[in-house]
Each structure stands twice: as structure tokens, then as C-alpha cells.
Amino acid sequence: MSTGGAGKPFAYEEYEDHDDFEDHEDDEDGADGADAGGHAEDDGDVRIDEPLLRRLLRAQFPQWAPLPIRPVPRSGMDNATYRLGDDMALRLPRYARWVGQVEREQRWLPLLAPRLPLAVSQPLAQGEPGEGYPFPWSVCRWLDGEPATTDGLADPHRTAAELAEFVTALQRIDATDGPEPQWSNAFRGAPVGAECDALTADSTVRAKIAKLRGMVDTDAVTAVWEEALAAPAWDRPPVWLHGDLATGNLLAVDGRLSAVIDFGTLAVGDPACDLIPAWMFLPTAARATFRAAVGADDATWARGRGIALAGSLPVPDDPFFQRDPARVTTALRHLEGILADAA
């Protein structure tokens, strides 16, 4: 495969992929979350640590205050997550931008969960700002499982079919009054290329592609992006979408998909966004199984591929990629699959 003049093919090593399909702009300090001891979340608009969580629990949910609090091995970029006892989790926004995620999950997940074929995050209570923490926050039910990885799937075709069943079940739920694409859900479900504060804004994607010249085949990458832009837009009623169906938000038990977590980017809009696991999670051999089961037409598939491409551009000056070289490896592997699928 051409690399746009670099003279080197795509290459990657085995790695453990726990990164979500996230906007990287808020990761100004290279946020992985916890410090070396895993005890404090310093990145973001506010410091989050165990003493703060203790104070919040004592003040608002004293019945849970004596329970042990443990940081998860790797929090997401938008929220800090801690395990509370054996059966619960604490989920706190790191940035003001993501405060709306709390309200969305609290309002909509109890309505969506009974209609979905996989376990999902279950809010138990909503905490309010206090004790020096400025945002609302959530207490959720803990879901057992490990982050699902491509190489760890017991039966990739079965996983593809089950994930497609989840996506289509979500789309069938009445979306009346559901949250539109907006700042606090990273504009998930917005038209591909729309000029908003989103990973898929045309100007943002083109700027990133330009920075990769000499590292990848930028002509091929641009062609895939322009195909997504040229595809007919979604012209049917907006549907529910999770917005971030990447590896870190899919759980598995014994290699089988068991749960979907982190609905912070929940929205109603273009369903193409929820096709990203075709390129960013499933192995190549299972991609056709997923597409057939989800029933994506050519235009929606092209838009979905463009969205996946927008999240797979490891520009050198992005702190998200600077912090962890494995993320570059991951993105290049995804990008290779995207280009091969479009060829």
C-alpha cells in the first residue's frame, strides 16, 4: 500500500486497544486519567480523587459512603470512573462540555434499556455539584466484563451479528423528543462534514489529512473522505444512536459481547455514526456480516466509513496520540482497513 511518499507500508504490533472513538481536542494535557498510582484524575476542569468522592458520598448518599472506592484501570476521556463497592460505579464529568451527558444518561437509559438486547449502563442516582466539585454526576450499576478487543472475540461473526442486533434495536425505539446532535454529545449524528465542533467537521478532517502527508497515502485518504461527503445525506426521520461504539465501550465475557457502556454521546440523528465498529472493532472477515445484519445501504455505509476515518487520523501534534504511541498504531490499523474497504 502506498504511504504518500514515506516509502514504508502500514505496520503495527500487537497491542491492547482500550481507546474510544472520542474527540481529542479536550485532551490538552494528554489525559489518560489517573496518575501513576491510579488515584487522582488531574486532567480536565477539576481534580477528581478519592477524598472528593468520599465527601460527595457522605453529603449526598451517606448509605454508600462506607463502601470501598477503586479507580478503574483506564477511565474514558470525558468522564472519570471509579468502582464503588462491588456493584456500583461513580461517573463524573471532567469538563464542563460534557455535563449534559449526565442528564441524557439519567433521563433516557431507563427508557432504552428494557428494549435493548445487551446490558447497558443503569443509572441508580444523580449527584449534584458540591464539596468543590462543580458538575452533576452519576452513580451507576457496575457491569461485569472486560473491554472487548478484536483479537479476543470467541466468534467474530456472532459478535458482528449481535452488535448489529443492538444497533437496529436501538434504531427501532421511538426517537420523539430525543437529544439532537449538540455540543455536549460532540455533535454525534450530525451530517458528515458539517462545520461544527465535531471530529467530522470537513475543515478539521482536511487539516488532519494534510498533517499526515508523508506518513500515509493522503490522496487515498482524501478520496474516502470525499466519497463520504458526496454520499446522499440521511433523509429519513432521525434515529437513536449510541455515538461511540468503539472498543472501550463494549464489554465481553469469555470473548462474547456482554454489554454496552458510556452513552454520553447518545443522540438522535444519522445512523451512520453507529457503523464505526465495522472498521474500528470488528475483524475484516466479519465486516460483511455486520453490514448485512444492520442493513446499511451504500450511502449510509460510505458516510459511516468517513466517520470512522475522521477518528483514525493520528496527527503528530495531537496530545491524544502523543501521550500513548499505541494509539497511533491503533489508528493506522483502522485506517488501513478503511482504505482497503473503499478500494
Domain CATH for 252: 3.90.1200.10
Q: Per residue in 200-228, pLDDT tens? A: 999 999 999 999 999 999 999 999 999 99
* pLDDT reported for residue 45: 78
257 shares its domain with 288: yes
* pLDDT reported for residue 324: 86
* Residue 28 in domain: no
160 shares its domain with 127: no
- φ, ψ of residue 71 to 5 degrees: the values are -70, 145
127 shares its domain with 164: no
pLDDT beneath 50, residues of the chain? 1-20, 24-39
Quick one: residue 254, left, alpha or beta (phi over 0 = left, psi -120 to 50 = alpha)?
left
Q: Per residue in 71-81, pLDDT tens? A: 988 767 789 99
d(CA 82, CA 74): 10
Instruction: With CA atoms as reference, report the closest residue to 272 among 315, 227, 313.
Output: 227
What order of strands is seen across the sheet that includes strand 79-84?
Answer: 69-71, 79-84, 88-93, 137-141, 123-127
d(CA 21, CA 281): 10
* pLDDT reported for residue 322: 85
* pLDDT reported for residue 328: 92
* pLDDT reported for residue 321: 86
331 shares its domain with 239: yes
* pLDDT reported for residue 317: 87
173 shares its domain with 285: yes
* Residue 89 in domain: yes
The range of the structural domain enclosing residue 122 comes to 40-141
* Residue 132 in domain: yes
67 shares its domain with 105: yes
End residue of a domain, out of 90, 109, 141: 141
d(CA 289, CA 282): 10
* pLDDT reported for residue 323: 82
End residue of a domain, out of 116, 141, 166: 141
**Exposure of 285 in the CB half-sphere (CA atoms within 13 A):** 8
* pLDDT reported for residue 177: 97
* Residues ≥6 apart with Cβ < 8 Å to 296: 272, 275, 304
End residue of a domain, out of 118, 141, 164: 141
216 shares its domain with 244: yes
Domain CATH for 47: 3.30.200.20
Instruction: With CA atoms as reference, report the closest residue to 315 among 239, 242, 207, 235.
Output: 207
* Residue 216 in domain: yes
Counting the structural domains of the chain, the total is 2
